[in-house]
Chains A and B, each alone.
Chain A
Amino acid sequence: MLESRNLRVAFGDKEVLHGIDLAIPQNEVTAIIGPSGCGKSTFLRALNLLHDLTPTARVTGEILFHGENIYDSSVDPVDIRRRIGMVFQKANPFPTMSIFDNVAFGPRLLGLSRADVKMRVEESLKRAAIWDEAKDRLKAPATDLSGGQQQRLCIARALAVKPEILLLDEPTSALDPIATAKIEDLLNDLKKDVTIVIVTHNMQQAARASDHSAYFLNGDLIEFGPTKTLFEKPSDERTEAYITGRFG
């Protein structure tokens, strides 16, 4: 469904991804791990066309989404970003909006009726496992929520436009272990309907929460396979060195 072919990304003269071929398995959680600067976030952002916003960035190769290259000029980036949602490291709710309006923002843009928007907001907050904590204060500013709640709100906001793919860039790195566990449980529930790609620095999180893992190093994909195999018996010694802490 989503696959990169010989994907290269350069910023100015510096190429940071050197031809990545990776097919993301559908309805699974795929973790991307690797040391700082290995290109994992760059890869994730390329899947969401985010490099379009950086003037010096140059993307070559293909990202096929249902067989169509999302970098073709005929493809509408707004449509792609609706179908491929993104959640960032730091929770970034719209600061001036209420909890409700944060989630309603996307559905309203899509032109849903008031009743449908309301339904969609409730459904999304439930799927993001924050409904119980938010339902009595939907009109409150989103910034009143705790960090972990804000991150789940951002997931709800991403889910509200019914994406097929959800990309998460270190979504729990600023959260405490309980909030982290809630998000990991959530990913496991969501994958029934949404394909998930998560970039994480936390190896134990990748081991716990993902089905497949990809190890990136210096802009190359070193190893990709079932998470269990990658963490118990990696086939590349560079992966072994990284996950056992002998490198990086």
Chain B
Amino acid sequence: MPERTFHKDVDELVARVARMGALSCKSVHEGVEAFAALDVEAAKRVIAMNQEINHADVAIEARTLDLIAHHQPMAKDLRTLGASLKIITYLDRIGRYGYDIAKATLALEGKEHVRKLVGIPIMRDKAVGLLDRSLDAFQSRDAVKARTIQPDDDEVDGLYDQIFRECLTYMIEEPRNITQCTQYILVARHLERVGDNAGKIAEKTIYMATGERRLDTQA
């Protein structure tokens, strides 16, 4: 039997979600680049990107609802559309974290870093790496890959705790560091959330591929 138009439409939808994901990744990646360099112009470019992500969210949601209304999908198709609807919400949030990180750059305009940023770019690489992997698992509908994401998120959480403690020390040492350190904590917090959302994407991917629902085990 030749592939039905509907199944091509579902594949195209999955590809659109993955493209939106690439955009969200870019937003976080470049947001941190701008923040590390305190490059206001680069930060503004990231801020502008948020609108594109937002449009993708709205357009993909509309398309998914159309497909549901027109085809009343079942089983794997239904799970794919359900997972897509959830995942674009996570991606929209991730895009928003990129935006917030870029905003932190503007908040430090005219200031210098307390010292060269080390922990935050490492944390960014880990969190964006998780996001990349979760999107790859989603696009290839691979539950095995998806299952490896959440355990690795612990590392991102650990880095957040580390940066938080480090910043506290700087602030106690020298109150003039408080403005920068507050932003570092916020940025690290955003990155920690990026990691969490990558885990959520992996969860929905597992559901899509296997029908298995996982409860959030984090308290």
Residues of A within 8 A of B (CB): 203-204, 207, 231-234, 239-240, 243-247
User: A245-B7, A246-B1 known; 18 other A-B pairs, CB under 8 Å?
Assistant: A203-B72, A203-B74, A231-B74, A231-B75, A232-B74, A232-B79, A233-B75, A239-B75, A240-B75, A240-B76, A243-B74, A243-B75, A244-B7, A244-B73, A244-B76, A244-B77, A246-B4, A246-B7
With A204-B72, A247-B1 already in contact, the answer to whether A232 and B211 are too (CB < 8 A) is: yes
Query: Closest CB of chain B to A225's CB: distance in Å?
Result: 13
Complex Cα gap A218–B10 (Å): 29
Measured in the bound complex, the distance between the Cα atoms of B73 and A246 in whole Å is: 11
* Cα A233 to Cα B83 with chains together (Å): 14
B6 touching A245, Cβ below 8 Å: yes
Which residues of chain B (105-161) have a CB below 8 Å from chain A? none
Residues on A with beta carbons closer than 8 Å to the beta carbon of B7: 244-246
Q: Can you name 23 A-B residue pairings with CB atoms under 8 Å?
A: A203-B72, A203-B74, A204-B72, A207-B74, A231-B75, A231-B78, A232-B78, A232-B79, A232-B211, A233-B79, A233-B210, A234-B75, A239-B75, A240-B75, A240-B76, A244-B73, A244-B74, A244-B76, A244-B77, A245-B4, A245-B7, A246-B4, A247-B1
Q: How far is the CA of A74 from the CA of B38 in the complex (A)?
A: 93
Q: How far is the CA of A204 from the CA of B75 in the complex (A)?
A: 12
User: By DSSP majority rule, is chain B's interface helix, strand, loop, or mixed?
Assistant: helix
Residues of A within 8 A of B75 (CB): 231-234, 239-240, 243-244
Interface string of B166-184 (1 = CB under 8 A from A): 0000000000000000000
Q: How many A-B residue pairs have CB under 8 A?
A: 35
A204 contact set on B, CB distance < 8 A:
72
CB of A177, distance to nearest CB on chain B (Å) = 13
Interface centre among A234, A240, A245 (most CB of B within 10 A): A245
Mark contacts of B15-43 with chain A using CB atoms, 8 A cut-off: 1 yes-contact digit, 0 otherwise. 00000000000000000000000000000
Contact of B211 among A203, A233, A239 (CB under 8 A): A233
B78 surroundings in chain A (CB, below 8 A): 231-232
CB-based nearest A residue for B3: A246
Bound Cα distance A232, B76 (Å): 7
Complex CA gap A232/B7 in Å reads 17
* Chain B positions 52-101 with a Cβ under 8 Å from a chain A Cβ: 72-79
Complex Cα distance A195/B193, Å?
51
CB distance from A69 to the nearest CB of B (A): 36
How far, in whole Å, are A234 and B74 apart by their CA atoms in the complex?
Answer: 10
With CB as the reference atom, state the residue of chain B lying closest to A233: B211
Q: How far is the CA of A207 from the CA of B75 in the complex (A)?
A: 11
Contacts of B210 in A (CB 8 A): 233
